[in-house]
Amino acid sequence: MTNNNDKFSGFRSGFIAIAGAPNAGKSTLLNRILGEKISITSKKPQTTRNRILGVLNRPSSQLIFIDTPGIHKTKESETLNVRIVDAALSGIGDADIILLVLDGANPDLNSENFIIKNLENQKRPVILAINKVDLVEKSTLLTLMDKWSKAYSFDDIVPISAIHGIQVEELLGIMEPLLPIGPPLYPEEMLTDLPERFIAAEMIREKVFRLTGQEIPYATAVTVDTFSEEKAGALVKIHATIHIERDSQKGIIIGKKGSKLKQIGEEARKDIERMVGTKVFLKLFVRVQKNWSHDTRALRKFGY
């Protein structure tokens, strides 16, 4: 009989916080690493609002990633944004390794300098991944690497492209030996600790981000009202509500003769079907909740 301790002799496991400015590509990187979509993405900043956990099992390690919301300076009056940044900073505090992702193509210097300030006096390894190198000239990349090596004492700096998978395997190889020695912390078949209900709501919110204009996404929250399986797993029925802040936004979300809401629903349904592996019936409702992003009770209700 094999001793369980022998089985995991030399095994490493631990938490890696993916931190960075809004829109640096953190969620795209997590999805690339896992080979599954669990964190939503869009070209608009602050798409991720909650901490998203993803588990990668390798032969001699288990890497547990925490995808944190974009870190940036906020005003006290921006209640939702303050909570989002607090969630990101607490995610960093829980990690064994900090993976800082910066956008090499469109640097956000204010946010990046703010993050570096928050990393001062870190005792844990900090790896810098310069993302979107497929969009950057080699000379620009070398200048960036030189700049950041002088700005902070990173354990390593790795140029990557999350969307194309460039140097992602190398990045994992650098982080693996920095994890603490110990057995796996999550079951091997587990990809995330998030319930399907939460991911479904996020997938709907992603489509709102991608399919509506500038102001709408930030005024949007999604709640799943019912999530039920019927006919022995042959169909999942979901009723969900898109909450917005003003009556004028309701018309934009619904669109002419319901066209925009239908498009949001159809695209979200396809993603949810891929996740649950079966047919989905998705019914969407739109509700106005005045200024919810400044209302602490509403923020709690929506899980922020």
Q: 276 and 148 in one domain? A: no
End-to-end Cα distance, the chain: 48
Phi, psi of 123 (to 5 degrees): -95, -15
Q: 213 and 99 in one domain? A: no
Q: 72 and 107 in one domain? A: yes
| 127 found inside a domain | yes
Please tell me the distance from the alpha carbon of residue 210 to that of residue 18, in angstroms, as a whole number. Answer: 23
Q: Which two tokens stand for residue 2?
A: 């094999």
Range of the domain at 285: 196-301
| 83 found inside a domain | yes
pLDDT value of position 2 = 44
pLDDT tens, residue by residue, 108-146: 787 787 778 777 767 889 999 999 999 999 999 999 999
Mean pLDDT score of the chain, rounded to an integer? 83
Of the candidates 178, 208, 231, which is a domain's last residue? 178
- Indicate the residue type of 214: Q
**Count of C-beta atoms within a 10 Å radius of residue 62:** 23
| 186 found inside a domain | no
Q: Which two tokens stand for residue 300?
A: 């709690």
| 276 found inside a domain | yes
Q: Please calculate the CA angle 203-46-15 and round it to the nearest 5 degrees.
A: 80
Count how many residues are written for the chain: 304
Of the candidates 148, 178, 208, which is a domain's last residue? 178
SS (H, E, C) 42-109: CCCCCCCCCCEEEEEEECCEEEEEEECCCCCCCCCCCHHHHHHHHHHHHHHHCCCEEEEEEECCCCCH
pLDDT tens, residue by residue, 149-171: 999 999 999 999 999 999 999 99
Q: 221 and 100 in one domain? A: no
| 262 found inside a domain | yes
Q: Which two tokens stand for residue 289?
A: 């909740």
Q: 145 and 22 in one domain? A: yes
Q: 141 and 71 in one domain? A: yes
Query: Is the pLDDT confidence value at 58 over 90?
Result: yes
| 184 found inside a domain | no
| 90 found inside a domain | yes
pLDDT value of position 27 = 86
Asked if residue 155 lies in contact with residue 100, where contact means CB atoms within 8 angstroms, the answer is: no
Closest CA to 263 of 211, 223, 205, 214: 211
Please tell me the distance from the alpha carbon of residue 125 to that of residue 16, in angstroms, as a whole number. Answer: 10
- What are the contacts of 46-52 at 24+ separation with CB within 8 A? 46/22, 46/70, 46/81, 46/84, 46/218, 47/23, 47/206, 47/209, 47/217, 49/80, 49/84, 49/87, 49/304, 50/87, 50/303, 50/304, 51/87, 51/88, 51/90, 51/91, 52/27, 52/192, 52/194
Q: 200 and 173 in one domain? A: no
Please tell me the distance from the alpha carbon of residue 240 to that of residue 283, in angstroms, as a whole number. Answer: 6
Q: How far is CA 54 from CA 20, 68, 84, 193, in A?
A: 17, 11, 19, 7
Q: 153 and 90 in one domain? A: yes
Query: Is the pLDDT confidence value at 59 over 80?
Result: yes
pTM (2 decimals)?
0.72
**Domain containing 265 — which CATH number?**
3.30.300.20
Of the candidates 145, 178, 211, which is a domain's last residue? 178
Q: 235 and 151 in one domain? A: no
| 189 found inside a domain | no
pLDDT tens, residue by residue, 77-98: 455 555 555 555 565 677 899 9
**Domain containing 121 — which CATH number?**
3.40.50.300
Q: 129 and 51 in one domain? A: yes
Q: What is the DSSP letter of 161?
A: B
Q: 136 and 13 in one domain? A: yes
Query: What is the domain count for the chain?
Result: 2
pLDDT tens, residue by residue, 10-24: 999 999 989 888 788
pLDDT value of position 150 = 92
Q: 264 and 139 in one domain? A: no
